[in-house]
């Protein structure tokens, strides 16, 4: 699971994407951000208008925010290869 999302499937101002991502910029956090947009031609069920977000700029802004907090960013694949479980929390409970 992830600790925050960028909500990059919506068209919004760049600052709004970054603000939405900020709570997930914590040690061990996993931030969900997409590298593209899936439409019907990709097998998506819904055919929404692709957002106009500059994904490269969004990544640069979020990585800068992470560095300002003293955090080191890595891909999910890199985190899985590192293999250390940083924290375990049950988020679905009665």
pTM of the predicted model over 0.85? no
pLDDT tens digit at each of 94 positions of the chain: 778 888 888 888 999 999 999 988 998 888 888 776 666 676 666 666 777 888 889 989 999 999 999 998 887 788 778 876 656 666 665 5
Q: Please answer whether residues 32 and 6 qualify as being in contact, where contact means their C-beta atoms are separated by less than 8 angstroms.
A: yes
Q: What are the extents of the domains in the chain?
A: 4-82
Residue 34 pLDDT: 74
Work out whether the CA dihedral 27, 70, 21, 5 comes out positive or negative.
negative
Rounded Cα gap, residues 8 and 16, in angstroms: 10
SS3 state at 5: strand
State the Cα–Cα distance between residues 33 and 24, nearest whole angstrom. 11
User: In the prediction, which pLDDT does 33 show?
Assistant: 81
User: How far is the C-alpha of 48 from the C-alpha of 46, rounded, in Å?
Assistant: 6
């Amino acid at each position: 699971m992830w600790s925050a999302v960028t909500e990059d499937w919506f068209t919004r101002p760049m600052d709004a994407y970054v603000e939405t991502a900020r709570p997930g910029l914590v040690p061990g956090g996993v931030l969900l951000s997409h590298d593209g947009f899936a439409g019907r031609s990709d097998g998506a069920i819904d055919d929404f208008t692709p957002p106009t977000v500059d994904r490269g700029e969004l990544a640069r802004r979020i990585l800068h925010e992470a560095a300002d907090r003293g955090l080191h960013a890595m891909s999910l694949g890199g985190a899985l290869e590192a293999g250390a479980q940083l924290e375990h929390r049950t988020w679905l409970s009665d």
